[in-house]
Amino acid sequence: MSLVSEILISIWVILPAYLPNSAAAVFGGGKAIDSGSKLNGKRILGDGKTWKGTLAGASAGFGLALIMNQINMILGLEIPSFTLIAAASLGLGAMLGDISASFLKRRLGKDRGRPFPVLDQVDFLIGAILLVYLLDYLWAAQNLDLTTLGILGLLTPLVHVTANIIGYKADIKDEPW
Ligand code: CTP
Ligand code: MG
């Protein structure tokens, strides 16, 4: 396979893990998962992790994977499709990764919403990859092999830096990082 197709397919298989964060931000709110409970004086997760956001995020990832399967089938593309378990794991895993990162941030004394560079950019990816390996090893080993993981590892920081610079130039963000 050519390098370009390797890169495009790597992006394709991980897309369902990228959508959940935005869906959670749009549809989130309401009851916090930790319902305000604290651990050693600090919130367990914080108000940024809600049931509604988590459900919306996980469903969005799952739904996107199913839509991608349809597109794949209709266009007759010879690219990977998602098993139901892989689709569900990518969406839910992304949310669990993000929730785990909030748990860690609260333990380190970072208040809700404060940026935590690098962790904020990879938590959902790590969660999605771990859960899909755990629940659908065959799919994961086939579609998220070392080459693909390497490509995604290199691409992720690049995507974030570029998106932030565009956001800054477009006056959406106050800082270019
Ligand atoms: N969100 C949610 N439930 C989740 C994840 C996100 O409701 N499981 C919503 C919340 O409204 C949150 C927003 O999406 O404020 C942005 O998500 P994120 O940046 O992950 O949360 P933060 O508010 O920054 O909190 P934290 O510091 O814990 O990451
Ligand atoms: Mg945040």
pLDDT tens by residue, 123-177: 999 999 999 999 999 999 999 999 999 999 999 888 878 888 898 898 877 777 6
Q: What is the DSSP letter of 81?
A: -
Residue nearest to atom 15 of ligand 1 (CA): 48
Q: How far is the CA of 24 from the centre of ligand 1 (A)?
A: 7
Single pTM value for the model: 0.93
Buried b (16+ CB within 10 A) or exposed e, 93-117: bbbbbbbbbbbebbeeebeeeeeee
Q: How far is the CA of 36 from the centre of ligand 1 (A)?
A: 15
Q: Give the separation between CA 176 and CA 168, rounded to whole angstroms.
A: 5
Backbone angles phi, psi at 159, to 5 degrees: -60, -45
Residue nearest to atom 12 of ligand 1 (CA): 48
Instruction: Report how far apart, in Å, the C-alpha atoms of 136 and of each of 70, 120, 147, 149 are.
Output: 20, 25, 19, 16
The residue whose CB lies within 8 Å of the most ligand 1 atoms, and thus the one to mutate among 26, 50, 54, is 50
Indicate the SS3 state at residue 85: helix
The one-letter code for the residue type at 136 is D
Tell the residue number behind the tokens 């689709």, with chain if given.
87
Q: What is the DSSP letter of 116?
A: -
Q: How much is the mean pLDDT over the chain?
A: 95
Look at residue 55 in the predicted model and tell me its pLDDT: 98
Residues 121/161, Cβ–Cβ less than 8 Å: no
Strand intervals (E) in the chain: 38-39, 42-43
Q: What percent of the chain has pLDDT over 70?
A: 99
Task: Report pLDDT digits (tens) over 73-99.
Answer: 999 999 999 999 999 999 999 999 999
Q: Give the separation between CA 100 and CA 13, rounded to whole angstroms.
A: 23
